[in-house]
Structure 1
Amino acid sequence: MTNATQAYSYAGPSTLSEGHLGLSTSGGRTATGFTDHPRFFSGLLTQAAPAAAGLLAVADVALARYHRPQPGFTRDPVVTCGGDRLRFESFSACGGVYSRLDVLGPALDGEVFDRGTTNVDVNNPLREALARVGGRDPLHVGVGPDEVTVTTLDGAVVEKKVPLPARWLRGFAEVQVIAAGFDLRAELSGPQAVRFLRGLPRRASAEVWAVPAGGDLRVSDREVPGGVHLAGVGRLATMMPLLRFVKALRVYGPADGSGAGAVELELPGMRYTLALSPQTWRGFSGEGAVLDDLSGDQVAGDADLVGVLLNFEPTLELGVLAARSGLTPQRVRAALTQLGTAGRVGYDLAEASHFHRELPYDRDHVAALNPRLTSARRLVEQGAVRLTGPDSAEVTTGGGVRAVRLESGSCTCPWWYDHHGSRGPCKHVLAARIAARDLPGGETSPTARDLPVQETSR
């Protein structure tokens, strides 16, 4: 499909001069509506050095292409003001590393003007200045232009356009869904964290598992249940300059130790999180974790209902949203997945909750980014699905008849044999589940048409 394009337009470049960090903003949605150059916050960063180092780390991830490094476009970090915190997010150019710096209330002393989300300009001179911020330097930060800045920079517009590849957009959607399935596996003190990260293999492509061992973590080169998979330890490099500030380290992952993993550093008044895809060559976009939640006909309507209840809250409670919307918690969870694919919610591992933010992607565009779901719906529309039992179905395609198990998600297609569900359900399983939901009382679906359905993306 054709890549989307993101256009940035700043009133001027971000600067750091004489203890004042002015972060220039592009267009974004706020609690009061869309604004060309939102102004969110003005005040002191009480922990200047870790904040500067953390912001630089987020910017470094935005610049990086960890798999097959090569020059390319830079997609500016995103900032969200949730009232009591600032969240800075970025996603690597290769789509395999997600980073976020949460600057929390204790590290902020100033005035909040609005809540919302926008891009921030991080240019080379600013990066150099951030690297020079010392531990005792006072740092005043303004997110968005103040009246003086607007007057001074009148006409000094910074504009740039960058492509947003389909895989990159899908990856942003997948990260929050995958992270919502993680659990805390281990927590280390500051000295333990330094020892653990500095003790990782020096080879950037090394693949290890961080395995809880008493009150510590040991490194294994084999998959271990309960361990956290860290593929390509070189992708943790942006954490190294932060070690002088670290108070604790936490690792998160699924119970079986497979797939993606995440590492979080607790810093004074803030947190820095990295999520790594299952392999260095494999971005988050191929995981298919959102497909089941997106496949129901009612999900789009539920997402619209839940979406109007959001107001850039720093945490979203499932029970509260269920009570306010009148939906079941299960339907709210699916609605949050839909909102995630539209860039409207993220997931905070430390607080085990979603948060509201608005990225510049719409629902229709993201739906087109899921070819397996599109193909599955086409199979249902063409009558290619026949339910053969409470947990079984046959799906007729140009490649033959595929035998599907609905509960386990197994299938006789090549996709299943290659991935065994590790990258989400195949289109045949999705089609069978959609057909099963569409039929009342467990009736059998219509027999597949005689004409085979043309194979498309699995």
Structure 2
Amino acid sequence: MADFAYAYVQASSLTPSATGNVLSLAAYAEDAPARGAACFFRGGLRNSWLAARGLTTLAKVVASRFVPQSAALRDPIVTAGAGLLRFEAFSSCNGVYARLDLGPEALDGEFLASGTTNVDFNEPMVNALARVARTEPVLLRVGEQEIVLERAAGTVTERKVSLPERWIKGLTAVQGYLATMEERLILNRVQATQLVQGLPAGASRGELFLVLRGSRPSFVPLSSAGAVRVGGAHRLRLLDGLLPLCESLRVYATADGQASAFVLALGGGHEFVLALSAETNRGFSGEGNQLDTLLDELPAEWIAGANKLFRGNETFNPSLFALENDLAPGTVDRLCASLSAMGLLGFDLRSNHYFYRRLPFKMERILKLNPRLKNARALLEAADDVQLVGVGAGGRSEVRVRGTDVWHTVLVGGSEPPRCTCQWFTGNQGQRGPCKHILAAQLRFGTEAG
């Protein structure tokens, strides 16, 4: 997977001033002009100690890795707009997603612009956050009003950070899972503290299920009615510092148990979300749970237009958007699916709606992030690599697709889910999105093949 470098004009910092400490987050946007990059927000934190605890936990997540060979990834993104700041990040192994939301109650300042940027989350700044006292005033400034993104020899110091493109793909998969989750449990502060206390010692190798035994949350090895599947439950120890501070903890999960999420209401407009992949060794970036939504390509100008139209954190309601713009519901459904699959939409579990994020990358980069779909399109370049064998009862189609050393049989269409004889499908049974052979069959034969 290709990496690309980010250049920051200066390091993020927490520095003292006459009116209190100033938290300045160095920002980057790949498609920003060389001069005059916007300052998204500047102002105070109403509860700087609580906000600092949330940011410290976010830093703890991005510094963690639960798969040894995973690369370090240190830089979260922040989306500003609609009176909110949302900080989002992944663990280095990409199997844990975290988000800190600072709502209007948590902020005392002004939004000068709306958008999403990557921020430099360096070690000195993280260490300074950990030392913020309970009564200590902190001013927050996201970005700079005057930023020179080009190198200016002798006067500006650049800090380059290599970020893998899987980071954007992870946002895609997480949103897809969050949008289908259902609320399973609501725990109070005492129960939330007991949650981690009930974890088995060490790293949990197999899957565990979260249940309530009386009023106490417990982890058990077997599923039962109402149980929440939690793969790699030891990852919940990331929340150690926040669970005693929360007013409530809501637990969500997908119906098929492929992901779970824990939402901590911290009070005063502070909320923290932690989402876990189904297994420790499964990163969100490799799930491919929304690849089929990209089969029907939309014109690039539609996507670019939407990216200019919507502001950061703005609620995206597909039905309302269709009415306001006199668009057919099917057209808006396609647009919504494409935006979601490209990571331009996030999902808020508590309010149960999508929110928009304008990713700080050039649009053409976002459009090229799905190698499985790219490989499927490559199969179509040869006329005989994807062959329709026949259509059976109920519209179920059998398709032969050329593999590396063998032909694969693909079954698509009808009322049953697609199936393939390849190793990827055999190992995952469709739980991590369709394989390239299924995608190729659907691309070649369209509705005839499901």
**How many residues are paired up?**
433
Determine whether 1:133 maps to 2:141: no
State the match for 1:348 in structure 2: 348
Distance 1:179 1:333 in 2: 18
Preserved CA contact (<8 Å) 1:61 1:97: yes
Preserved CA contact (<8 Å) 2:116 2:360: no
Question: Which of residues 422, 427, 430 in structure 1 aligns to 2:431?
Answer: 422
Query: Percent identity among equivalent residues?
Result: 35
- CA gap of 1:159–1:112, structure 2 versus 1, over 3 A, is same
Residue deviations 1:262-312 (CA, integer Å, cap 9, x gap): 111111221111111111111112211111101113475653454443122
State the match for 1:402 in structure 2: 409
Counterpart of 2:283, as a letter, is: G
State the match for 2:242 in structure 1: 242
Preserved CA contact (<8 Å) 2:194 2:216: no
Q: What TM-score, normalized by structure 1, do the two folds share?
A: 0.84
Preserved CA contact (<8 Å) 1:94 1:168: no
SS in 1 for 2:242: helix
Distance 2:376 2:349 in 1: 32
Counterpart of 1:391, as a letter, is: G
Preserved CA contact (<8 Å) 1:316 1:353: yes
- CA gap of 1:359–1:265, structure 2 versus 1, over 3 A, is same
Alignment map for 1:240-319 (pairs within 5 Å): 240-256=240-256, 258-268=257-267, 269-298=269-298, 303-304=303-304, 306-319=306-319
State the match for 2:440 in structure 1: 431
Distance 1:35 1:326 in 2: 38
- CA gap of 1:245–1:164, structure 2 versus 1, over 3 A, is same
State the match for 1:391 in structure 2: 395
Preserved CA contact (<8 Å) 1:43 1:110: yes
Preserved CA contact (<8 Å) 2:28 2:360: no
Structure 2 spans left out of the alignment, 5+ residues: 147-152
Distance 2:380 2:197 in 1: 52
Distance 1:144 1:169 in 2: 21
- CA gap of 1:40–1:267, structure 2 versus 1, over 3 A, is same
Compute the displacement of 1:137 (Å): 2.2
Residue deviations 1:360-419 (CA, integer Å, cap 9, x gap): 344544454323222333444535242514532222233225140324333241333222
Preserved CA contact (<8 Å) 1:310 1:356: yes
Compute the displacement of 1:331 (Å): 4.4
399-408 or 99-108, which moves further after superposition?
399-408
Preserved CA contact (<8 Å) 1:295 1:434: yes
Preserved CA contact (<8 Å) 1:67 1:280: yes
Distance 2:209 2:112 in 1: 44
210-219 or 402-411, which moves further after superposition?
210-219
123-132 or 83-92, which moves further after superposition?
123-132
92-101 or 406-415, which moves further after superposition?
406-415
CA-based RMSD of the aligned residues comes to 3.2
- CA gap of 1:36–1:14, structure 2 versus 1, over 3 A, is farther
Compute the displacement of 1:213 (Å): 6.5
Alignment map for 1:362-377 (pairs within 5 Å): 362-377=362-377
Preserved CA contact (<8 Å) 2:260 2:278: yes
Distance 2:118 2:203 in 1: 30
Counterpart of 1:425, as a letter, is: P
Distance 1:113 1:302 in 2: 27
Preserved CA contact (<8 Å) 2:379 2:440: yes
- CA gap of 1:224–1:305, structure 2 versus 1, over 3 A, is farther
Distance 1:58 1:377 in 2: 38
197-206 or 155-164, which moves further after superposition?
155-164
State the match for 1:230 in structure 2: 230
Distance 1:74 1:403 in 2: 37
- CA gap of 1:285–1:143, structure 2 versus 1, over 3 A, is closer
Structure 1 spans left out of the alignment, 5+ residues: 148-153, 446-458
State the match for 1:413 in structure 2: 421
Distance 1:29 1:215 in 2: 50
- CA gap of 1:111–1:364, structure 2 versus 1, over 3 A, is closer
Distance 2:212 2:141 in 1: 41
Counterpart of 1:393, as a letter, is: S
State the match for 2:41 in structure 1: 41
Distance 1:293 1:224 in 2: 33
Determine whether 1:67 maps to 2:67: yes
Determine whether 1:196 maps to 2:191: no
Preserved CA contact (<8 Å) 2:115 2:358: yes
Distance 1:93 1:126 in 2: 19
